[in-house]
Amino acid sequence: MIRRMALPAGTKIGRYEITALIGSGGMGEVYLSEDTQLGRKVAVKILNSELAADATARKRLVREARAAATLEHPNICSIHEVGDADGHQFIVMQFVEGETLDARLKDRPVDIKEALNIAVQLADALAEAHTRGIIHRDIKPANVMITKRGEVKMMDFGLAKILSDGVPYGSEAETAALVSTPGTLIGTMPYMSPEQVRAETLDARSDIFSFGILLYELVTGQRPFHGASTAELASSILTHEPPPMARYSHDVPAELDRIVSKSLHKDPEDRYQTSKDLLIDLRTLRDEVEFRHRLERSQPPENKNDTAEIPDVEIKTKVFDKPPATLREVKSLSTKETPVAARRISPWTAVIAVASIGLLSLGGWWLWSRSNQNWAREQLPRIEELAAAGNYFEAYDLADKAEKYLPGDPIITKLMPTISDTISVSSDPAGAEVYLTRFASTAEGKAPSAELIGKTPLANVRVARGAYILSLQKEGFAKIERTVSGTILRGGGLTSIPPPSKLKYDLMPVGQVPEEMVYVPGGEYRLAAWQRPTDNKAKIDDFFIDRHEVSNREFKEFVSAGGYLKREYWKYPFVKDGKPLSWEEAMDQFKGPTGLPQPRGWTNQNFPDGKADFPVTGISWYEAAAYAEFRGKQLPTVYQWEKAARDGRTSPFASCMPWGLFYPGDSLDQRANFSGGPWAVGSAPFGMSPYGAYDMAGNVSEWVLNEGSEGFYATGGSWGDPSYTFAQYSSFPGFYSSDKRGFRCSLVKAPSGDQGGGRLEAVLEIPEYTASSNADFQKWSEAYRDTGPEPDARIEETIDTDDWRREKITYNGADGDRVIAYLYLPKNFEGPHQVMHIVPAADVENGMRSLPTSIESRFGPILKSGRAIFGVVLKGYIERLRPENFVKPEPNTVEYREMVINRVTDERRGLNYLATRPDIDMKHIAFFGPSAGARTGLILAALEDRYVSVLLQGGGVRKTDMQTIPEANPINFAPHIRVPKLMSHGKYDEDTPLKTQGEPLYKLLREPKRMVVFEGGHVPSTEFLINTINSWLDETLGPVRR
């Protein structure tokens, strides 16, 4: 707040007569005054009473002002006197007529030329002060005056600090001077250096930082650091990097951006170390800009507008390494030539001609260079946009082109660490060709071709940041393929740029690597999968594993060679339902409808047409083991398989897949097949494992060698499973087969042990739970009482297909967000419609695929049968991803309870919305919860009385749920679901085991209830699932009206 003038005009302080108040601030008031002795105008700063009363501060201020008075420089406002008269402490300064830089910036923009002139004068003033050991400490536009003649004056050096006094800046509590108010010392927060904000001892480099802020604002009209409060502003100065100046003005020379960026480094050691160095760079740049302006003005009028459209033309200039021929030949002119001709080619004329050619060439080069520089500067916003969107390949390609014309450009320099990576590759022996293939699609949807980047050894080759297939090829040696990635890492709310990729490979002679197998080094290995069958380590030898899953074509060779007829391939005893079978009895199990042994799904020992390169499925563990024996191999052990698939990698922030980390919201496209049926082996090279094996995640799950309590283990997940099943193991009977199950083989040339292939006994601990009381249930239910606002629902989008209409709806959620929901309405059926309300499985819950994809990929037949489907997008789904710094609360915390309450509230408000629609039959609503959706459903269905029927697929409760806070514990709510309930569960469920999780939940549920157990794992076949749902809903909701 500006205070009223304390001293009236005419007041005399010593020999100075007050004329008018011209400014005020935390230090006091500044008056225009008359020096009655010398007859000149001066500015007199009267210190405020609080400061003048502090003897220590007054003495220090007087000492520093006197030191500043020794500064004599045309760009420094001189201090004439420091005095004490008539009860006032005052400083007398030169009176500068003009306007402050602050006012100039508000009045009109400053062009580059003027900005550089101002900056050079200010830097010159700082260099003078710093040379004398004085720092300013309050550099800002308000402390810079510009005279009518354009001269610049740095003001308030009387408030500077002597570097040699050794008094810590913080001892004066000047960091409290966030605004200019009485009782505080100098320091203006938007222009402070990081060391000022931290109250550290200052040196001249603090002024350089403040000068950088001023220069940034002078050029762009924007301050580099922002904050809604002083605390936010201080944090911005300490932690944020300002945007490049070219973002606000494309006329900013790259060198000026570099100068400012260097001045604004957080660490003083990285800034200019002296203001003299800063001045030299600014003067050089100013002179260069002035030269360019003169050159532009000297161009002929007809050429001045040509630069904008000049193409990239090749301009050739000749450099003479000896005198031009014109000079050498002038003395040997033919006698037939006339004197006039001889005079035309005189030496001076030739010199002028050559010089003219040189100038024209130089001018042409300059125009060509200027045109390309303009083009490159125009690309900078697009490069920033691509980088911000994570399109690093495109951003890098454009930046790489622009950098050729803008070397050292600060925007490109600043972005390069984000959009580029460096890769070093060595091999033994050296000389292998190195190819990189980008993880990207062309306009035609094809993967780009491989690019040769050189031969090993390669050091620090710059490439775009992203994922690649790296291929090493050398004649006489086996080809090596790997996925490599410099993708930015995320976790715990932080992002980090991984270190440069340094890769080393040992090449193996062609004859040492079996055809279509990849080499995996051995060693001691412990399983890393989150649902592993054992924590024991195993010693494995170096081994080879099939590059691809065994295909139909390959298995046909086994069949055609009489594989089902030759006992020598069938090494393991046959057991079915706990009873041993003879070889003949076992072979009968594999016979098809025509009496010939073959995989299930084949006809007359032939695979389906067009499926030769698809993985063989419908085979039992025994058949897989026999095929491996036929090839002179064996099934991989769990240790070998996982070593080849993930090499022991884990992360607390993302799922570890064969190719690397998989974050919520990431796409599986071109990586892994977890939906829609199998694809041909090797269809996703970008999903290959650390050792070059394909399809180890998804496509088909794979038999491994080890035997377990229920039979033999399989792992990897399949096209019909959620993606998290890659990290799960489950055991199945040896004669079990499925269209989602296949295998691959392994080979150890000289095994020294069982490679971890022994029996893995899982200890089954079957918990018993006690049903909660009605009184407790009523108490816990109170936490879910919803007193929130009306839904305020809106239909945002409608999509029609031949069979249904999909409406995207938003409404008010539990925590102030707009919730998204999808309502699918069947066509060809009259309303009001019965509704199946879905809470999806963990693949949707964890952001691995969207809710509409989940619904449409499996439940189209439900819609075609006449029932509507409704689903709510909860937080964590792809369309409502949580912030990167989200950390899921522990289940025993209040925060976890609030999270669950919000999720349930969002679902219930969705039902409130449905109740407003005349095309929905609210008396016929069913709940369906598959897998993780069943866990949410146990709470939701217990609280809701609008459900008529409940169906839980692969649901269960875990022993660890006993530690969950009571109000969010599904065990406490399950016994209070009153409507009819159906549980459908796989006998060999690898995610939610039937014995330890499914059956204990079923015991908790009250009647009426029913359980259906099918032969399979966690996810049933679509046919079984749809038939089960429709039959149950017909029974509990009644048939659909047609």
Known catalytic residues are: 138
Which class for 429: exposed (0-12), middle (13-18), buried (19 or more C-beta within 10 A)? exposed
**What is the distance, to the nearest Å, from the Cα of residue 525 to the centroid of all Cα atoms in its chain?**
31
Residues 6+ apart with CB under 8 A from 19: 9, 31, 32, 33, 34, 41
Contact criterion met (CB below 8 Å) for 51 and 28? yes
At residue 824, the 3 state secondary structure works out as strand
Residue 968 corresponds to which amino acid? A
Q: What is the DSSP letter of 875?
A: B
Residue 662 CA neighbour count, 13 Å, CB half: 24
Residues in contact with 558: Cβ distance below 8 Å, sequence separation at least 6, in sequence order: 626, 627, 630
**Angle CA 126–130–132, to nearest 5:** 125
The owner of tokens 């495109």 is 394
Both structure tokens of 194:
């990081």
What is the maximum span of the chain, computed from C-alpha positions, in angstroms? Answer: 128
Q: Which of 470, 483, 485, 484 is nearest to 433 (CA)?
A: 470
Distance CA 1010, CA 982 (A): 5
Ranges of beta strands (E only) in 116-273 are: 134-135, 144-147, 152-154, 161-162
Show the 3-state SS of 55-71.
HHHHHHHHHHHHHHCCC
From the list 883, 885, 895, the residue with the least C-alpha distance to 967 is: 895
The first and second tokens of residue 208, run together, are 């350089």
Phi, psi of 192 (to 5 degrees): -80, 150
CA distance 987 to 216: 69
Question: For 439-496, where are the alpha helices, taking DSSP H only?
Answer: none
- Distance, CA of 699 to CA of 715 (rounded, Å): 11
DSSP for residue 531? B
Instruction: Write the secondary structure of 375-430 as one string of H (helix), E (strand) and C (coil).
Output: HHHHHHHHHHHHHHCCCHHHHHHHHHHHHHHCCCCHHHHHHHHHHEEEEEEEEECC
